[in-house]
Structure 1
Amino acid sequence: MELYWYDFFCVGLVAAASIGSLCVLWREEGRDRAGDDDDDRKLRKSLLAVGGQVDHSWLWASCWRGVHPGWLLAIRVGSFAVLGGFLAWDIVEWDPTIFVYYTEWTFTLVMIYFALGSILSVYGCWVYATKPASTNRYVNEPLTSDLEESDYTSFNTYREREFQRSKLGNQYTEEYILQRAGFCGYLMQIAYQTSAGAVILTDIVFWCVIVPFMSNARFSLNLLMGCMHTLNALFLLIDTSVNSLPFPWFRVSYFVLWSCIYVIFQWVIHACGFSWWPYPFLELSSPWCSLCYFAVAVMHIPCYAIYAMIIRMKDSVFSRLFPNSFIRSP
């Protein structure tokens, strides 16, 4: 296969994006951020506001006070079942080679999130059922803007919260919370934050580029393809409206890595003899490929930003409209 300068540009772009993402994750996931930045201060403030006790209940608890975690479990199990049905339909309709498409990769990633979320929600329901009501803080305790203004019902509660507050100020960071949540919770967050950006990218490219300009025998719009490029975002947004998961900016790096892995996968299978490109704008033999690769790379930032804005709007609007019922995300 003959190589051109724009091929080397594309390879260099993917390599730079991959290395840059890994460097960001190495710095952000591994360093101690106790009190060093605004995100950490907001995290500590949020944790203090819900009682000063740090645990992993925000992985399975609803952002709506009084809502049993079983509702979030039902959303996650139901979403997984429906998406699984459509993915099975897709495989039967086309055969397993359909996984050469980015859509199926992202669709599967969303299902992985719902599967992991269901497991943690089952555990959360068990915790909710076995712990005293007073310890289920996401459901029963009122939200306060300042810990010192809270009225403590007993000296023991006051002493416990003061201890937790002191400990929080020195030790509790997002990484520590993730350790408490366990590996499953960490993977669930990565799947959630990666798929959030990926579904926006997938659906925008499909509805705004492929359907209007690239319709052919393989890209013709039908009910299955329409659902595959709609339900992924719909069910994720429904879950977002109920869950308490954070959405840190630096984890856009996982989203970028996810796309880089897909592109590298395409290069490998074409080097091994695969004959056609599922997305024509990724074809390396085109003189426009460098511009297309660069445009798609840049799109990752606004796609992730769109979902981050949705979560920010959820916190801002609902906390104002329902101050006694809504709990802001950590």
Structure 2
Amino acid sequence: MSDSEEDEGFRYWFRWQVPICALMLLVSATTALMHITKTKPGPLSYNHLWIPSWRNLNPLWLLAYRALAFLCLVRIHFDSITLDGAFSFYFYTQWTFTLVMVYFALGTIVSAHGCWQLLKKPPLENGEMDEFLRRGLEDSMSTNSNGYKEKEIKGSIMLQNRYVAEEFNQIAGFWGYLMQITYQTSAGAVILTDIVFWGVIVPFLSISRFKLNMLMGCMHTLNAVFLLLDTALNNLPFPWFRFAYFVLWSCAYVIFQWIIHACGFTWWPYPFLELNTPWAPLWYFSLAVVHFPCYGLYSLIVKAKIMILPRLFPHSFLKSY
């Protein structure tokens, strides 16, 4: 074994940068895990997973879109693996692309199940349910002038309201929460992936072994396009606490890179992950910090959707969370 190979192997992990970067990685992962275990999320309604945010849009359209997006992602994923094999998973891009594909797979299954329930017994949407119960109460009150009767009818309507609300707001199960976690993790990872690729790698890190092609362009564009279109259609909440899953996702990738390099790999897919430079701690710290604006940007997109669309389309957009 030559000195250079030994330097890339055993001695590589005894540089002063390694424990500092490892500490930052450990703190990030531990903080995220503690945040997940201590935070008690609010209940997630099952119907938020498959009913669109547009009142007159049939859920079948959302199902069709998710199925189409999943098939397109599968085709691109297949082409990528065919071209590079298992080596494609060496990159964060492939990890993120696979995660987005998993989200659309879960979304298609959940939407199909919801539409199947809709065909069996169509549920009332939030706005329609409230309007139905309000009109029932007003009609009953107008036809009965006796105070005792009014109270009795009002109590009956309120009881009906509770039963209908309970039927409508079924709590999502394990797969529903998994879909929500995958959705929010994908959101942050997609923004991070595309910003780093188009803003750093393409203009500044073009090297002989890196050549931009149509497949790369699609993988770093359609992942965001499909997810943003789904966001425009879906009715999913976007709480900030699931930012922790995004952090864990990136930590898992970095740990994966460290493990395979400890096993003999010498080439890093991203130069800012290398540990043999005095700038490594600064790069790792910057990567940790950049997760906040990436996740925050997508959160702002969701908030803009909730704030702007009801004003532009007051009779079409259904705001239910």
TM-score by length of 1: 0.83
How many residues align structurally?
293
Does the aligned pair in 2 maintain the 1:210–1:219 contact within 8 Å?
no
Q: CA, structure 1 residues 263+276, in 2 after alignment: closer, same or farther (shift >3 Å)?
A: same
Cα distance in 2, alignment partners of residues 26 and 61 from structure 1:
29
Cα distance in 2, alignment partners of residues 137 and 244 from structure 1:
12
* Residue 226 in structure 1 maps to residue 217 in structure 2: yes
Deviations 1:298-327 (A, max 9, x none): 010000000000000001111111122112
Which structure is larger by alpha-carbon Rg, 1 or 2?
2
Aligned twin of 2:34 = 23
* Residue 68 in structure 1 maps to residue 58 in structure 2: yes
**Which of residues 273, 279, 286 is equivalent to 1:288?**
279
Cα distance in 2, alignment partners of residues 265 and 55 from structure 1:
35
Does the aligned pair in 2 maintain the 1:245–1:329 contact within 8 Å?
no
Aligned twin of 1:83 = 73
**Which of residues 245, 264, 274 is equivalent to 2:265?**
274
User: How well do the aligned residues superpose, as a CA RMSD in angstroms?
Assistant: 2.4
Does the aligned pair in 2 maintain the 1:128–1:136 contact within 8 Å?
no
Residues 96-111 of structure 1 aligned to structure 2 (within 5 Å) = 96-111=86-101
* Residue 204 in structure 1 maps to residue 195 in structure 2: yes
Does the aligned pair in 2 maintain the 1:196–1:307 contact within 8 Å?
yes
Does the aligned pair in 2 maintain the 1:76–1:239 contact within 8 Å?
yes
Residue 295 of structure 1: CA displacement? Answer: 0.6
Unaligned runs of 5+ in 2: 1-9, 141-152
Amino acid in structure 1 at the alignment position of 2:37: W
Cα distance in 2, alignment partners of residues 9 and 109 from structure 1:
29
Aligned twin of 1:136 = 124
Amino acid in structure 1 at the alignment position of 2:125: R
Q: CA, structure 1 residues 6+97, in 2 after alignment: closer, same or farther (shift >3 Å)?
A: same
Amino acid in structure 1 at the alignment position of 2:161: R
Residue 162 of structure 1: CA displacement? Answer: 5.0
**Which of residues 200, 217, 221 is equivalent to 2:208?**
217
TM-score by length of 2: 0.85
Aligned twin of 1:5 = 16
Cα distance in 1, alignment partners of residues 70 and 318 from structure 2:
25
Cα distance in 2, alignment partners of residues 78 and 327 from structure 1:
24
Unaligned runs of 5+ in 1: 34-39, 44-53, 168-175
Amino acid in structure 1 at the alignment position of 2:52: S
Cα distance in 1, alignment partners of residues 158 and 302 from structure 2:
33
Cα distance in 2, alignment partners of residues 143 and 164 from structure 1:
10
Amino acid in structure 2 at the alignment position of 1:263: V
Cα distance in 2, alignment partners of residues 310 and 104 from structure 1:
24
Q: CA, structure 1 residues 221+67, in 2 after alignment: closer, same or farther (shift >3 Å)?
A: same
Secondary structure of the structure 1 residue equivalent to 2:158: helix
Residue 159 of structure 1: CA displacement? Answer: 2.3
Percent identity, please. 50
